[in-house]
Amino acid sequence: MEVSFNEYSNTGISQDSGDGTRTDDQIKVNKGGESFFSNIKKSFKDFSRSNQADEHGKINVSVNGHPITDRVVRKAQKLAGTIHPGDYWYDYRAGFWGIMGGPCLGIIPPYVEEFNYPMPENCAGGNTGVFVNGRELNQKDLDLLTNRGLPTSRDRSYIIEISGRVLDGDTGEELDCLGKLAPT
């Protein structure tokens, strides 16, 4: 069994919009057969001017709170396609990603070296007391992973890999597999 972007379709994201906008807590994202950063790219056209390219044409991109230089963005784009300005969190180990402060919006390939920065534990607006790969899960993310077999006990930490393998974050004990996670 694979987890894909479609399982995130009930998280307040519209897949019908070609233009990405953020109003209140609703994000609209275009889904299609495009490169794995296409969803990120198109969902931020209406970010404020401070997040757009500056007067010198530099793109303002940050991942896990770290500014990404234009050179590194260009290098990552060779794997990812065009990357638009924005503040993102990225789970290097499992490939989960989202807008800083918001829930997971999808899964991309893990181990994109250019984005290998530790995630702040509060990067996804988590409020559950359940941590995956260092980030506190948002309730929507916890619900999705619980449906796949992740335990729901508060104050627990887990390591999840793209293969779906789950380890207890404290003991290292291998738990039930969630099934393969599929990049979107």
pLDDT by residue (tens digit) across 114-157?
A: 999 999 999 999 999 999 999 999 999 999 999 999 998 899 99
Give me the residue label for tokens 């999705």.
144
Six token digits for residue 19: 């233009």
- Number of domains composing the chain: 1
**pLDDT, position 20:** 36
The pTM for the full model equals 0.70
pLDDT digits (tens, 9 = 90+) for 75-116: 877 776 677 899 999 999 999 989 999 999 888 888 989 999
Q: Is the pLDDT of residue 69 over 80?
A: yes
Can you give 27-92 as a three-state secondary structure string? EECCCCCCCCCHHHHHCCCCCCHHHCCCCCCCCCEEECCEEECHHHHHHHHHHHCCCCCEEEEECC
Residue 181 lies in a domain: no
- Tell whether the model's pLDDT for residue 33 goes beyond 80: no
Residue 183 lies in a domain: no
33 falls within a domain: yes
pLDDT at 182: 74
Instruction: Give the pLDDT of residue 6.
Output: 46
Residue 133 included in any domain: yes
Q: Give the pLDDT score at 81.
A: 61
Q: Which domain holds residue 91?
A: 5-175
Contacts 24+ apart (CB under 8 A), 49-55: 51/85, 51/86, 51/87, 52/85, 53/85
Q: What percent of the chain has pLDDT over 90?
A: 49
Asked if the structure places residue 164 within a domain, the reply is: yes
Indicate whether 182 belongs to any domain. no
SS3 142: helix
Q: What is the pLDDT of residue 169?
A: 95
In-domain check, residue 64: yes
**Residue 180 belongs to some domain of the structure:** no
